[in-house]
């Protein structure tokens, strides 16, 4: 079956521009996570959506980062006024029921801010 998909797969942008990253979770999965992975580093939690509940935004590194999840399915991570330190792989994961369930990851979006 279809897994988690993310788009674009690669994004190059100039410092100061806004970017939008998209995640399509597995159909029926109520939970969705965004992570950031810098080169050679582990995954850094950004935000968690569960059903219609208010998202857990505790991992967002600054107010330039925001995320939405429309209709309980597709999610968009927006980075405003991008900085070079935002360059990383942004990974999305979904799970069937939320916390402490297996997370299935997408391939990631590789963001490069010049």
Nearer to another protein, 63 or 99 (CB): 99
- Letter string b/e over residues 14-44, b meaning 16 or more CB atoms within 10 A of that residue's CB: eeeeebebebbbbeebbbbbbbbeeeeeeee
DSSP reduced 3-state for 70? helix
Bridge partner list, 89 = 37, 110
Nearest to 29 by CA among 107, 83, 102, 84: 102
Distance CA 63, CA 31 (A): 23
Applying CB under 8 A, among 87, 106, 111, 113 the residue interacting with another protein is: 106
Nearer to another protein, 17 or 53 (CB): 53
How many residues does this entry show for the chain? 114
Nearer to another protein, 82 or 109 (CB): 109
**4 makes contact with another protein (CB under 8 A):** yes
Restricting to residues 54-83, name those near another protein by CB under 8 A.
56, 58-59
Nearer to another protein, 42 or 71 (CB): 42
**104 makes contact with another protein (CB under 8 A):** yes
| Residues near another protein, by CB under 8 A | 4, 33, 35, 40-45, 48, 50, 56, 58-59, 91, 93, 99-100, 102-108
């Amino acid at each position: 079956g279809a897994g988690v998909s993310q788009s674009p797969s690669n994004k190059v942008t100039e410092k100061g521009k806004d970017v939008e990253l998209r995640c399509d979770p597995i159909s029926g999965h109520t939970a969705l996570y965004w992570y950031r992975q810098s080169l050679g580093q582990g995954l850094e939690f950004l935000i968690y959506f569960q059903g219609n509940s208010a998202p857990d935004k505790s991992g967002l590194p600054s107010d330039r980062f925001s995320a939405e999840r429309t209709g309980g399915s597709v999610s968009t991570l927006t980075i405003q006024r991008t900085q070079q330190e935002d360059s990383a792989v942004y990974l999305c994961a979904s799970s069937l029921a939320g916390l402490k369930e297996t997370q299935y990851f997408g391939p990631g979006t590789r963001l490069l801010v010049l």
